[in-house]
Amino acid sequence: MNWWKNVVVYQIYPKSFKDTNNDGIGDLKGIEEKIPYLNQLGVGAIWISPFFLSPMVDNGYDVQDYKKINPIFGTMEDFDNLKKTCDKYNIKIIVDFVANHTSDKHEWFQKALKNEEKYKDYYVFTKDPIWEKKSVFGGEAWEKINNDEYYLHSFAVNQPDLNWENPNVRKEFKEIMNFWIDKGIGGVRFDVIDDIGKNLDRDLIKKGIYIDIEKLHSFVKEWRNESKWNQEDLLTVGESWDSSTDKAILYTNPERKELAMVFGFEHIMSNWNNKPKWEADKLDLAKYKKIISKWQKEIHNNGWLALFMSNHDLPRMISNFGDEKYRIESGKSLALVLHMLQGTPFVYQGEEIGMLNCKFNNLEEHDDIEIHQMYESIKKENDDYTKEKHLQYVAKMNRDNARTPMQWNKDLNAGFTNGKPWLKINENYKEINVEDALKDSNSLFYWYQKLINFRKDLTNPISNVIINGDFELIDSENEKIFAYKRQYNNEELIVISNWSSDKVEFKFNKENIILNNYDYINDNLLEPWQSILIFIKK
């Protein structure tokens, strides 16, 4: 069995995790300092968002050099020391590759701007833009240069898109992969992996076909087969916003030898209803459950999933899907439902202590380029649009919610730094922090620890059910209860979770309950956000 099937991965946003030199920015030494904490939690791998050399226009997702460490995070020696400490605790390191685009400060792009023929073809240049396309961050996706030429940037203007049809680009990334494998990494997370398979045919684009599926998968297979990736049991996970179950299987079916797993976002976007994410509706639980069920059933035995409800691009999990008034209860309920599914769970930093969205008082407190570029884009269309309106518009779904510094204790700046934090500290840090969570045996931290141990203890029959069992929804139309069962051989796990702030009647057998997020259980009645786990050996 692949090592990554029974572990939980912890995502670290390095800028916000732990600062050791008091410049207000987290660093690699800070991550190393907290590895014993992550070992106590029980995780088997850490995914670190980009720490490569970067101008940080998009917080590291604009890479200037893939083989150098950004000085704000430390040095290559710091990375090597982090690797040694992780090895001591048997924790793998997953690095974050941004392969769709580079920084405009990257040597390749700078040479392309000087019309060096080799590097000009590393990017997508044209004198006649073939996509009528908007940037993800607002505004046009084509930037004009030299009066008569444009380059494509699907994200910020400082993030020019690479041309993966160029074999030299593909060769570069094989070498980058080999470099980091030689450094001893345990895997790679591929940022917006779908986008590398761009369709540049004008007629097809007119039909709305922007991604060439066959081309995309040929790139991934070549990358794997012609690099050291093919020799290693790496956890390779693709971020696939456009992914359906069919597409996820193409990526992750072991026979195809591409990725180990994908992040699919259909469940995340289930309440967006073809509207901007900022205007998301209230969660439709029946719809949400059916999406989870579809992915569990169709991927089962055909591939593998990365399980998640939050990350650096999404609101805090409890603020988005749970109930801040029932922070602990709803946090435990969401975690139980997620961790008992088939796949590899990803825990985003702070999730294990129940960190919440942050209240920003003005637009200037925000750092994220998406927020600011979106404001400028809307302002151009509507003169009456104010910063105050925009602040309210982006409040729940903005990415800075997830990026506020980690809350370690009640001390100055939540124990994150003794300097000035690069981003606002959430004002609730005196009530929500790691130090207090570790002192409370009923905290979310210890709940996560139990869920992680269920999965990684292969001597426990529960682990076999989690990893291998089939999936079946219970009462799929229920708008308040998320219940399902997992079965493998003669063992069965049943999850029953009240995803509401009401007391809800629901029939269940109390005899075989092995986990309960309340200290009592009623007969066939669940308290607000009460969740139970039942194990039955037949």
Task: Copy the structure tokens of residue 113.
Answer: 């701007």
Residues 101 and 244 in one domain: yes
Q: Is residue 456 part of a domain?
A: no
Judge if 253 and 380 occupy the same domain.
yes
pLDDT band, residue 177 (cuts 50/70/90): very high
pLDDT band at 210 (very low <50, low <70, confident <90, very high): confident
User: What would the pLDDT profile of 124-173 be if each residue is shown by its tens digit?
Assistant: 998 888 766 778 887 888 999 987 899 999 999 999 999 999 999 999 99
Last residue of a domain, one of 152, 182, 213: 152
Q: Taking CA 251 as the corner, what is the angle to CA 250 and CA 253, rounded to the nearest 5 degrees? A: 70
- Structural domain for 509, as ranges: 470-537
DSSP codes joined into one string, 362-428: SGGG---HHHHHHHHHHHHH-TT--HHHHHHHTTTT-THHHHSPP---SSGGGGS-SS--SSPPPGG
pLDDT, one tens digit per residue, over 51-110 is: 999 999 999 999 999 999 999 999 999 999 999 999 999 999 999 999 999 999 999 999
Regarding whether 282 and 186 lie in a shared domain, the answer is: yes
Q: One-letter amino acid identity for 313? A: D
Q: What does the pLDDT read at residue 134?
A: 78
Same domain, 142 and 274: no
pLDDT band at 359 (very low <50, low <70, confident <90, very high): very high
Return the CATH number at 174.
3.20.20.80
Q: Are residues 191 and 298 in the same domain?
A: yes
Residue 202 has pLDDT above 80, yes or no: no
Q: What is the pLDDT of residues 275-298, one digit of tens each?
A: 899 999 999 999 999 999 999 999
Burial letters 377-390, b for 16+ CB under 10 A, else e: bebeeeeebeeeeb
Average the pLDDT over each of 172-186, 187-201, 407-421, 513-527 and give the range with the smallest value: 187-201
Q: Is residue 343 domain-shared with residue 414, that is, in the same domain?
A: yes
pLDDT at 139: 81
Give the angle subtended at the CA of 133 by the CAs of 119 and 375, to the nearest 5°. 105
Q: How confident is the model at residue 491 (pLDDT cuts 50, 70, 90)?
A: very high
Position 349 scores a pLDDT of 98
Q: Which residues pair with 263 in a beta bridge?
A: 239
Tokens at 147, concatenated: 């009066």
Question: What pTM, to 2 d.p., does this model score?
Answer: 0.96
Statement to judge: residues 143 and 284 lie in one domain: no
Final residue belonging to a domain, choices 121, 152, 183: 152
143 by DSSP, 3-state: which?
strand
Mean pLDDT of the region 197-219: 82
Q: Average pLDDT of the chain?
A: 95
Indicate whether 100 and 244 sit together in one domain.
Answer: yes
Tokens representing 332 are 């435990």
Q: Are residues 137 and 205 in the same domain?
A: no
449 pLDDT band, cuts 50/70/90, is very high
Judge if 46 and 177 occupy the same domain.
yes
Does residue 88 belong to any structural domain of this protein? Answer: yes
pLDDT at 347: 98
Task: Match 């990893």 to its residue by tokens.
Answer: 467
**By C-alpha distance, which of 392, 376, 344 is closest to 189?**
344
For residue 199, is pLDDT > 90?
no
Give the total number of structural domains in the chain: 3
Q: What is the pLDDT of residue 48?
A: 98
The percentage of the chain sitting over the pLDDT mark of 90, rounded to a whole number, equals 90
Q: What is the pLDDT of residue 333?
A: 98
Most distant CA pair in the chain, distance:
75
Question: Per the domain annotation, does 317 fall within a domain?
Answer: yes
Give the model's pLDDT for residue 505: 97
Task: Look at residue 415 and tell me if it is in a domain.
Answer: yes
| Per-residue pLDDT, 131 | 67
pLDDT tops 90 at residue 256: yes
Would you report the helix, strand and coil content of the chain in percent, each value rounded to 5?
40, 20, 45
Q: Is-contact 121 168, C-beta < 8 A?
A: yes
Identify whether 270 is part of a domain: yes
Domain assignment of residue 424, yes or no:
yes
Task: Compute the residue count for the chain.
Answer: 538
Question: Does the residue 465 lie in any domain?
Answer: no
Provide the annotated active-site residues. 191, 239
Same domain, 243 and 117: no
> Read out DSSP for 67-99?
EEE-TTT--HHHHHHHHHHHHHTT-EEEEEEE-
Give the pLDDT of residue 484. Answer: 98
Give the pLDDT band (50/70/90) at residue 183: very high
Task: Answer yes or no: do 425 and 342 share one domain.
Answer: yes
CATH number at residue 528: 2.60.40.1180
Residue 146: give its domain's CATH number.
3.90.400.10
In a domain, 464, yes or no: no
